[in-house]
Chains A and B, each alone.
Chain A
Amino acid sequence: MDTFIQDLTEQISQASAAGRAVAIHGGNTKSFYGGAVTGQALDMRPYTGIIDYEPKELVLTARAGTTLAEIETAMARDNQMLPFEPPYFAEGATIGGTVATGLSGPRRPYTGAVRDFVLGTRIVNGKGEDLRFGGRVIKNVAGYDVSRLMTGAMGTLGVLLDLSFKVLPKPPDEITLRYELDEATAILRFNEWAGRPLPISATSWHEGVAMLRLSGAIAGVKAAREKLGGDLVDGADAEKFWRDLRDHRLAFFQTDEPVWRLSVPSTTPALNLDLPHWMEWGGALRWLRGATDAKTLRAKVEAAGGHVTLFRGGEKTSGVFHPLPPVLSKIHRNLKSAFDPANILNPGRMDNF
């Protein structure tokens, strides 16, 4: 692995000097996401393996090319999990791709996002420098929080090498309840429930059907179930449902039409956008399917305090990511040139500054 890093730093230094773009990839399971990028392919899959995992420490360190499947299998042996329930989308998804895209699954509003659990990163920046930030301990405030800055940066600030995470025990029990609710009532209920000490771990609403997942100690889940009513969903069906929602395998997402990701304040009322939509994250995430004018959609969602990503498909020329205000744009450009002065790392992948 030392040879891999040595070769990588050399390759990046040369690319930097020559101004030659590098397109970083792992399992290519999320290559649909983000702006179009051209450049010499940099395959991170050979850089693989769990470096350190001590369940009692709640800390795991893995190389970026390690697959999520390998990590989650190793953790399952000790009844632990990556708390942000990362989407796979397809086989071969890597932990590096997960951190680079910053995407989290259904558990996100209740336990936290990828960025909340990243403790440390080792990266190679656009100058070919091998750098380490953060660490393998849960509390660490030495220096700026570069590890979280890398999370969701789409590989535009550095090639991710080693990644450390805080992990959590798997809840002993998990059940899913089903309700028939209209959209406005679902939004209200999701928010009310989240304000009470209940072991909620996921929420979903689509076409009049709300789903609520509870995870925790057996007695705690049972007590919550008694308070919350609803119809109990069969365990295997529920597990499949949440996994399919996480990985966009539900029929709603199996489409050639564009899929828009609307991240909004959880209490935002129904947006009435006349397109099929799916809500999760307690109301804070709304998926929209179909062709629509990006500008109009963005204006409407921005007015509600949110932002819009053209998540999959559609016409990328109108921008994948929500445009940033000028001052934020300037800071983004400054940061990009601080980490990657020759603009060789995934140029164009993040297309909003």
Chain B
Amino acid sequence: MTRLPDNALLEDLSRITPPLNVIVDRERLRPFETDAFISHRAVPMCAILPESEAQVCEILKSCSARGVPVVTRGAGTGISGGAIPRDDGVLVVLTRLNAVKQVDPLARTARVGPGVRNVVVSEVAAPHGLFYAPDPSSQLICSIGGNVAENSGGVHCLKYGLTTHNLMQVRVVLSEGEVITVGSLALDTAGYDLLAVVTGSEGMLGLITEIVVKLQPIPEYVETLLAAFPTVNDAAGAVGQIIGGGVIPAALEMMDKMVIEACEKFMSAGFPLDAEALLLIELDGAREEVAEQLAQVERVLVNCHAQEIRRAKDDAEREKLWKARKGAFAALATIRPDYYTIDGTIPRRCLPDVLARYEILAQEYGMLVANVFHAGDGNLHPCIFYDATVPGEMERSEELGGKMLEICVEVGGTITGEHGVGIEKLRQMCIQFRPNEIAAFHAIKAAFDPSGVLNPGKGIPELKRCSEWGGMHVRNGQMPRADIPRF
């Protein structure tokens, strides 16, 4: 793709009515040069902040006609680099398409613009006794459009599903400026499931301009438990027995010794010092149902040698139990200011083995690794702590992260459970998929975006890059912004 003089495109854009908000000033473009994957950055030719779908169509027509790459951005909280601009392309920022257009309490849906923040959807649904289930850690600031583009998860996925399970319909502008509707307000549509393909497509197939999400009834009652175990095996066994026994908790989080030690050191949480793993369990549903499940879960925890079980009596205590997880990371970050979060998913039965291998690797690299684990669905988030001001530490953390992802693939898992590929995991894509599978991904992209201008170079590696990297040790993974919790 040849880089065209900026002027020709800018002239096209200036003809669009109503006039677009186009930023070309380099200093004003700075805030857009990266997302939350801050080790990579680029200043785009310009950033455009459209205020209507019609403007988005015109922008795309101009860009595809001139072969100018288009990167889409929402709130910029993605941590795999999917929204990082290109210096030869434009950045389309969809934050101004932030209208909540309709909440239909009877149909249990909300129609929103892509720029609406995740938490706002639940806020507008709450008066009707409804909520939007997917809750990524960045939900206060991340946008729904970005959630669709990444197929975001959260701590409640095991019970309520990922973004892809909570969507009805999405409007998408294709690179040639055509608008399609995928999904519908019914429970299925004629033809192929394009809604599934668009969800998680990381801005490579089209720009999302409107989303109808599914809302769920707010559970009547919630119980939260925290249990400490003498071994990882015991904790993993408890998870298996809870689920195998027929209870699907709303959240089921595991934390390792590093987290427990941090709790002790910085928050005097009072956990048994010989505890090797913590489980945080949340049950929700009708009051009677939760009571029944609670009794069952407590029996399992005791049988699996839990040394201590704490139960939240009210919302304040619930908050306190969650702090055991969230606070520990803030505490660890005081020893080493930066951390890099991995997002591999593994079959849960491999957990003790994988954690043991992670520990050996961490020792080999002389780095602190704390493990948080969405235990119910097998999504691991090891956090590698380092200090970016110490030469070589960031690179070592990247290398260690790459090795950890390789282990996930080796045991039958995946390189990304909910964060996306972006630019961060392009190399690991070559490990997870074979060349003809990667070719199939490229063919899907071409089916939607024949001119290839949408977020080129992200998500799916070029085959020739895979063969260049082939045989190389996986070595990638970068530094996220340390100030937003994301696990």
Contact = CB atoms under 8 A, between A and B. Distances in A.
Interface in A311-340: 321-325, 327-328, 331-332, 334-335, 338-339
Contacts, number: 274
A55 B349 CA distance: 11
Contact of A142 (B106, B174, B196, B416): B416
Interface string A102-133: 10000011001101100000000100010111
B466 interface: no
A305 interface: yes
A306 interface: yes
B440 A148 contact: no
Contact of B440 (A146, A170, A266, A331): A146
A90 to B, nearest CB: 22
Contacts of A151: 193, 196
Contacts of A76: none
Contact of B196 (A115, A192, A353): A115
A138 B158 contact: yes
B291 A219 contact: yes
B413 A217 contact: no
A267 interface: yes
Contact of A148 (B164, B247, B436): B164
B185 A135 contact: no
Contacts of B419: 141
A79 to B, nearest CB: 6
A224 interface: yes
B479 to A, nearest CB: 21
Nearest to B165: A116
B188 interface: yes
B219 A197 contact: yes
A213 interface: no
Interface string A193-233: 01111110000000000000000111110111000000000
Tell me which of B165, B196, B418, B429 has the highest count of chain A C-beta atoms within 10 A of its own C-beta. B196
Interface residues of B, number: 98
Contact of A222 (B179, B194, B288): B288
Interface stretch (B18-26, B47-55, B309-317, B443-451): B443-451
B420 interface: yes
Contacts of A125: 440
B145 to A, nearest CB: 16
Contact of A141 (B128, B151, B292, B376): B151
Nearest to B428: A142
A217 B292 contact: yes
Interface in B339-395: 345-349, 374, 376-379
A348 interface: no
B129 interface: yes
Nearest to B408: A137
A350 B245 CA distance: 41
B444 A197 contact: no
B286 A197 contact: yes
Interface residues of A, number: 87
B188 A263 contact: yes
Nearest to A309: B190
A153 to B, nearest CB: 6
A169 interface: yes
B417 A140 contact: yes
Interface string B233-264: 00000011101111110000000000000000
Nearest to A54: B349
B178 interface: yes
Given A328-B180, A339-B443, A265 B218 contact: no
Given A113-B187, A145-B196, A263-B188, A139 B289 contact: no
A159 interface: no
A223 B429 contact: no
B60 to A, nearest CB: 13
Interface stretch (B87-95, B197-205, B320-328): B197-205
Q: Which of B186, B220, B377, B433 has the most CB of A within 10 A?
A: B186
B266 interface: no
A60 to B, nearest CB: 12
The 9 closest A-B pairs by CB, nearest first: A220-B289, A148-B196, A334-B447, A219-B288, A338-B443, A139-B417, A169-B246, A56-B240, A322-B190
9 contacts: A57-B347, A115-B193, A141-B421, A143-B437, A191-B106, A199-B285, A219-B286, A309-B190, A321-B190
Given A138-B379, A144-B444, A350-B191, 14 more contacts: A57-B349, A133-B437, A138-B378, A142-B415, A145-B196, A148-B193, A169-B246, A199-B285, A199-B289, A217-B293, A218-B292, A307-B188, A321-B190, A352-B190
